[in-house]
């Protein structure tokens, strides 16, 4: 079974997707980490960032180096949303993601899983939350000022939603879940229940 979890930054995708995967015994795929790794490769002057070797496991490796922490830096977040608008980068990463998901049980998290990577996924979830709530969560994680995080988030949201190639939007048959007033456990339980109903 493949479960697609899409939505904007800060809607709770990573925490929720990881927990759903752990509960069901599925493999978790963080596609944002792949865009981040390509962005980091570019910032470091890699001659072909989209062709760099990215390994996802317990952490993230770029050409063999552990970059799990490095890819979360603010300049990498910014650059990731720039490289994610590049069709050549998207083509390369989508092909890798589709190859990975060809067999086995997956919970894949991103922006285009339900629309592009796995439009035939058995379950598609689109997580949303209000912008100030999303910024508050991100700021708490990073120890940053929520007002600044919200401003930067708005710029990235706009870029992710307005880009021509695979803009962020829900698949027509995605279940939309607003996480604003819900706990992580409540969101996870709802998605796990939906998945078990399909079994
Ligand atoms: O989810 P994240 O913040 O780690 O994602 C990093 C960037 O990559 C963000 O700008 C959105 C983009 N992205 C994308 O365009 N498609 C995906 N499947 C995953 C992430």
What's residue 159's pLDDT?
86
Please report the domains of the chain, with CATH numbers, ordered by start residue. Answer: 2-30+74-198 (3.40.50.300)
User: Of ligand 1's atoms, which has the minimum distance to the CA of residue 81?
Assistant: 10
What's residue 157's pLDDT?
87
Instruction: State how far the Cα of 21 lies from the Cα of 198, in Å rounded to an integer.
Output: 15
Q: How far is the CA of 85 from the centre of ligand 1 (A)?
A: 10
User: Of ligand 1's atoms, which has the minimum distance to the CA of residue 71?
Assistant: 4
What is the CB-side half-sphere exposure of residue 173 using CA atoms within 13 A? 10
Q: How far is the CA of 146 from the centre of ligand 1 (A)?
A: 20
What's residue 166's pLDDT?
84
Taking residues 6-19, what's their average pLDDT?
90
Q: 5: closest CA among 168, 166, 180, 131?
A: 168
pTM higher than 0.85 for the full model? yes
Taking residues 108-127, what's their average pLDDT?
97
Confidence label for 190 from pLDDT (cuts 50, 70 and 90)? very high
Taking residues 23-43, what's their average pLDDT?
97
Instruction: State how far the Cα of 11 lies from the Cα of 167, in Å rounded to an integer.
Output: 17
Nearest CA to ligand 1 atom 20: 32
Instruction: Quick: pLDDT tens for 79-104.
Output: 998 999 999 999 999 999 999 999 99
Average pLDDT over all residues of the chain: 94
Taking residues 172-177, what's their average pLDDT?
96
Q: 153: closest CA among 72, 70, 78?
A: 78
pLDDT > 90 fraction of the chain, expressed in percent and rounded? 78
What's residue 165's pLDDT?
86
Instruction: Quick: pLDDT tens for 123-164.
Output: 999 999 999 999 998 898 888 999 999 999 998 888 888 888
Residues with CB under 6 A from ligand 1: 9, 31-32, 35-36, 80-81, 84, 110-112, 156, 160
Q: Does the pLDDT at position 199 exceed 80?
A: no
What's residue 41's pLDDT?
98
What's residue 100's pLDDT?
95
Ligand 1 pocket test, pick from 60, 110, 142, 159 with the greatest ligand atom count within 8 Å of Cβ, gives: 110
């Amino acid at each position: 079974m493949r479960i697609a979890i899409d939505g904007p930054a800060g809607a709770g995708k990573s925490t929720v997707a990881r927990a759903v995967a752990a509960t069901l015994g599925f493999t978790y795929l963080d596609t944002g980490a792949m865009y981040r790794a390509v962005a980091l490769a570019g910032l470091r002057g890699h001659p072909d960032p989209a062709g760099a070797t990215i390994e996802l496991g317990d952490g993230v490796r770029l050409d063999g180096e552990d970059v799990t922490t490095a890819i979360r830096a603010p300049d990498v977040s910014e650059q990731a949303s720039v490289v994610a608008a590049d069709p050549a980068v998207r083509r390369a990463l989508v092909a890798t993601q589709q190859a990975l998901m060809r067999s086995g049980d997956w919970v894949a998290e991103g922006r285009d899983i339900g629309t592009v990577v796995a439009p035939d996924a058995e379950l598609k979830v689109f997580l949303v939350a209000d912008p100030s709530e999303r910024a508050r969560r991100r700021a708490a994680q990073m120890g940053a000022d929520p007002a600044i995080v919200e401003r930067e988030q708005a710029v990235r949201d706009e870029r992710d939603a307005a880009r021509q190639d695979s803009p962020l939007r829900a698949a027509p048959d995605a279940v939309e879940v607003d996480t604003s007033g819900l706990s992580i456990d409540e969101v996870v339980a709802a998605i796990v229940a939906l998945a078990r109903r399909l079994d």
